[in-house]
Amino acid sequence: MVSNVTYIANIVHPVQLGVLIAIYFFYTGLSAGSFVLSSLGTVFGIQKYKPIAKAGVVMAVSLLAIAPLHLIADLEQPQRFYTLFFRLNLHSAISYGTFLLTLYPLNSLIYGWFLFRKDLAKGAKELTGFRQSLYKLLTFGKTDLSEAALAKDTKIAKFLGTLGVPLALMVHGYTGFILADIQSRALWHTGLMPLIFLMSAMVSGTGLLILVLMFSQRFLSPERSLTPERKALILDISQLMMWFIVVDATLMVIDFIMLYFTSAAGHFAAQLFLYGSHRTMFLGVEVVLGLLIPFVLMLLPRTKRSLGWISIASFLTLLGVIAMRINFVIGGQQIPLSGDTLNPYTVDPKHLIFITLFAISELTILYLAFRILPVYGLLKAKSAPDLYQKEALSK
């Protein structure tokens, strides 16, 4: 190829899908990841993960309640978003996504209700005040606590969970597919993209679940403490996270080797991320901070048993996965299709405001859900001797 070619005139093609879309991918990833972890106990029958089933589903539902708002906020004609439901195009990935994004949270919500019903019904009987009336309302009149009714709950939850796992994988696989589907963008157009998105979803989902478990069990559970069993479970999940990181990193290595030898645009994409201006965001934040350091922390015997280090590792995976979403969504569009310079991207301040508002509402929903709902069971009622003793002492 001749090298002495100079561009004299061309027009600018700015990046169109920006940070709102990247953060949306981050949320769906978190949701899918936490749902799969929730299903480990209920669907796959691994007993030790039973205690996190409810925490996982609360996260999955609340994250997917907020995620699509990012998409609507990113539309130029947000008031027309509902047409997505009936003006279908069977060739468009987004058309499928519309229904996945509706079915998956609904299924998770019903699945969650069957997990919660026992505690809600118990609470409606035993508690007093605001929680009692709320729990009573939430049972929708189904307060049967017999063995048979509870066994039926478990069975239905297992069925809905079994339905939910492929849905969760599809919801997040589809976000990767939305990019992989685009033949014009070299960085995106690979069959590995849905898998990479899925694995990074597992990594970040586990990361957030660990942080949420630590905080909610310590401050919002009836026991208000990280009991030894809970600590052991968190250590166990953090080891899962390490293996998710291994798979994610492996896929990433394969992807970049393929990219390097695929086409001129693919080669340039790999160059840009490994040597060029995106190096800090990719190698620095996404790979070293987001994958390598958490992996090492979860590998070393000294750090893998410390809750402090585990929380740092979990936080870093979240940071790394946010970086990954931004790198792939925006970086993928910056590679020129018809010019000789990177396509420019400027952040719309309005989008940043939306992201902040959505993040605040997400945290509020999570806090309220863990505070109000019986995620970790009900507070044990004080036994009669306790009360008697207290009365005697006060006399």
Partner 1 sequence: MAEKKKRWAMVIDLRRCVGCNACTVSCKIENNVPEGVFRSWVKEIEKGDYPEVTRFRLPRLCNHCDNAPCLAACPVQATYRTEDGAILIDYDHCIGCKYCMTACPYDARFLNPIRKTAEKCTFCYHRIQEGLLPACVTTCVGGARVFGDINDPESLVAKLVANNPVQVLKPEMNTEPYVFYIGADQNIMGARYDKLEKGEK
The rounded distance, in Å, linking the Cα atoms of 351 and 356 is: 9
Token pair for 278: 């995106």
Q: Minimum distance between the CB of residue 107 and partner 1, rounded to whole angstroms? A: 22
| Angle at CA of residue 16, ends 13 and 22, nearest 5° | 140
- Which CB sits closer to partner 1, 49 or 354? 354
Shortest distance, CB of residue 315 to partner 1, whole angstroms?
31
3-state SS string over 94-111?
HHHHHHHHHHHHHHHHHH
> Terminus-to-terminus CA distance in the chain, angstroms?
97
**CB nearer to partner 1: pick between 13 and 125:** 13
How many angstroms separate the CA atoms of 251 and 180, rounded? 15
Minimum distance from CB of 359 to partner 1 (Å)?
Answer: 22
Q: What is the DSSP letter of 146?
A: S
Residue 29 CB, nearest approach to partner 1 (Å): 19
CB 185 within 8 A of CB 335: yes
Q: Which is nearer to partner 1, 7 or 130 (CB)?
A: 7
| Nearest to partner 1 of 264, 384 (CB atom) | 264
Question: What is the 3-state secondary structure of 306-365?
Answer: CHHHHHHHHHHHHHHHHHHHHHHHHHHHHCCCCCCCCCCCCCCHHHHHHHHHHHHHHHHH
Radius of gyration from C-alpha coordinates of the chain: 24
Interaction site with partner 1 (CB under 8 A): 1-11, 13, 16-17, 71, 74-78, 80-81, 83-84, 87-89, 91-95, 98, 178, 181-185, 264-265, 267-268, 271-272, 275-277, 333, 335-342
> CA–CA separation, 345 vs 331, rounded Å?
9
Least Å from the CB of residue 339 to partner 1: 6
Query: What are the φ/ψ torsions at residue 2 (nearest 5 degrees)?
Result: -70, 145
Shortest Å distance, C-beta 114 to partner 1 = 33
Q: Is 146 left (phi over 0), alpha (psi -120 to 50) or beta?
A: beta
Choice between 86 and 130, CB closer to partner 1: 86
For partner 1, the closer of residues 37 and 73 by Cβ is 73
Q: Match 């291994």 to its residue by tokens.
A: 246
User: Of 106 and 337, which CB lies nearer to partner 1 in the complex structure?
Assistant: 337
| Contact criterion met (CB below 8 Å) for 318 and 23 | no
| Shortest distance (Å) from residue 278 CB to partner 1 | 9
CB of 253 to partner 1, least distance (A): 21
**Pick 47 or 183: Cβ nearer partner 1:** 183
